[in-house]
């Protein structure tokens, strides 16, 4: 997913940071089984799994395993490309580097809400969609995920960053 382009209307951004979650992972929402909230994670890949985090931020995930095998990738950060005025209006911040440098920021900038849960992100007909990269990201940095409680695979290196775009990521380490 690194390098993929996220599109909504005139807004476009290149994804530069993601985190992976799968069903045997204690930090994954599907770890304790199928629920109405996680139902979309059991579907085919390419669909949006959107949830409200801590009652504050919407989060965009992309379902990524075959149907019946729940897993998703959280989109953590992106580099804005087009539609920056709309992103700024949605976020209320002037600095471009602050627009998409975190999963909640990204969702707010792209006006992503629970209404987007279940959207086919790979369909050209969707109002929120992903375009795969033309060239694979070659400089990938892996590290532990952010905000995972100790004992819930907090140290598993399933956070992936485009090493050439670290300045645009959620936590600059």
Chain segment 94-136, per-residue pLDDT in tens: 899 999 999 999 999 999 999 999 999 999 999 999 999 999 9
Chain segment 44-90, per-residue pLDDT in tens: 999 999 999 978 899 999 999 999 999 999 999 999 999 999 999 99
Contact 150, 129 (CB under 8 A): no
- The whole-number average pLDDT for the span 25-41 is 93
* pLDDT for residue 14: 98
Domains of the chain (ranges, CATH numbers)? 5-168 (3.10.300.10)
* pLDDT for residue 54: 79
| pLDDT: which is higher, 110 or 148 | 110
Chain segment 15-26, per-residue pLDDT in tens: 999 999 999 999
pTM to 2 decimal places: 0.95
Q: Measured at the alpha carbon of residue 86, what is the angle toward residues 85 and 90, in degrees to the nearest 5?
A: 120
Burial of 132 (0-12, 13-18, 19+ CB in 10 A): exposed
The total number of residues shown for the chain amounts to: 173
């Amino acid at each position: 997913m690194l390098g993929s382009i996220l599109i909504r209307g005139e807004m476009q951004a290149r994804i530069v940071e993601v985190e992976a979650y799968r069903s045997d992972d204690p930090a994954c929402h599907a770890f304790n089984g199928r629920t109405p909230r996680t139902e979309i994670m059991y579907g085919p890949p390419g669909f949006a799994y959107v949830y409200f985090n801590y009652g504050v931020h919407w989060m965009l995930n992309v379902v990524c395993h075959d149907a019946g095998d729940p897993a998703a990738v959280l989109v953590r950060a992106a580099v804005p490309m087009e539609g920056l005025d709309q992103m700024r209006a949605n976020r209320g911040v002037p600095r471009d580097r602050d627009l998409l440098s975190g999963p909640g920021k990204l969702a707010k900038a792209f006006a992503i809400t629970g209404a987007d849960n279940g959207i086919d992100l790979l369909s050209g007909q969707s109002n929120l969609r992903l375009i795969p990269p033309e060239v694979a990201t070659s400089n990938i940095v892996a590290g532990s995920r952010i905000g995972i409680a100790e004992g819930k695979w907090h140290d598993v290196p399933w956070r992936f960053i485009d090493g050439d775009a670290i300045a645009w990521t959620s936590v600059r380490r």
